[in-house]
């Protein structure tokens, strides 16, 4: 459990501080003008997202829908965190990232009705504009991908263990069918004196 808490205790404050500092900066610096990163590759545009991820709208004041959903998600992530093996670093880091990002966006939803502060984007992908996002969104997305990979790897390991167990079981039956306890082949007669 100490390893898990070390991961969470490192990732959570790092993501929250980065998220809060960058959102605070965006509120000041981007209030009246846009900016850019990486020579214009990533535009900086202040936006307030009242909806779900990527600006999906679910009503005018949906924050009271998202606040309980976030608490429920945090509770489920807590269960996954507790169940994770101490050496499953990928899963522990993934859950820590998702929890950190969820708390970062939850803070915005609770503190005001303007919505979650987003400022990175929209990014022109050539065929679609990737919606405006923030540091918390990056943490949630990276954590969710890592969590999916973790579950996929676990499923592959379970399948491999199942195949191995089946092979061992099948092999044991073949050995038992072809030899007697004394090592003689079945079907061979033994002579008695």
- Annotated catalytic sites, by residue? 118, 137
Tracing tokens 């990056």 back to the chain, one arrives at: 138
How far is the C-alpha of 125 from the C-alpha of 68, rounded, in Å?
A: 34
Which tokens in the block code for residue 145? Answer: 């991908």
Q: How far apart are the first and last CA of the chain?
A: 66
3-class secondary structure per residue, the chain: CHHHHHHHHHHHHHHHHHHHHHHHHHHHHCCCCCEEEHHHCEEEEEEEECCCHHHCCCCCCCHHHHHHHHHHHHHHHHHHHHHCCCCCHHHHHHHHHHHHHHHHHHHHHHHCCCCEEEEECCEECCCCEECCECHHHHHHHHHHHHHHHHHHHHHHHHHHHHHHHHHHHHHHHHHHHHECCCCCECCCCCCCC
């Amino acid at each position: 459990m100490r390893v898990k808490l070390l991961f969470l205790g490192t990732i959570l404050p790092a993501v929250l501080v980065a998220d809060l500092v960058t959102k605070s900066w965006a509120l000041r610096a981007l209030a009246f003008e846009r900016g850019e990163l990486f020579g214009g590759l990533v535009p900086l545009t202040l936006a307030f997202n009242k909806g779900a991820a990527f600006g999906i709208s679910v009503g005018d004041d949906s924050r009271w829908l998202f606040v309980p959903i976030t608490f429920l998600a945090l509770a489920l992530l807590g269960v996954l965190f507790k169940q994770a093996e101490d050496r499953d670093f990928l899963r522990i880091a993934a859950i820590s990232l998702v929890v950190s990002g969820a708390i970062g966006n939850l803070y915005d939803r609770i503190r005001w009705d303007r919505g979650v502060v987003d400022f990175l984007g929209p990014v022109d992908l050539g065929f679609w504009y990737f919606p405006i996002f923030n540091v918390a969104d990056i943490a949630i997305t990276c954590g969710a991908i890592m969590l999916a990979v973790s579950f996929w790897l676990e499923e592959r390991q379970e399948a491999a263990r199942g195949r191995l167990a089946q092979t061992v079981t099948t092999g044991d039956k073949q050995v038992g069918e072809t030899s007697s306890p004394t090592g003689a082949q079945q079907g061979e007669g033994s002579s008695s004196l």
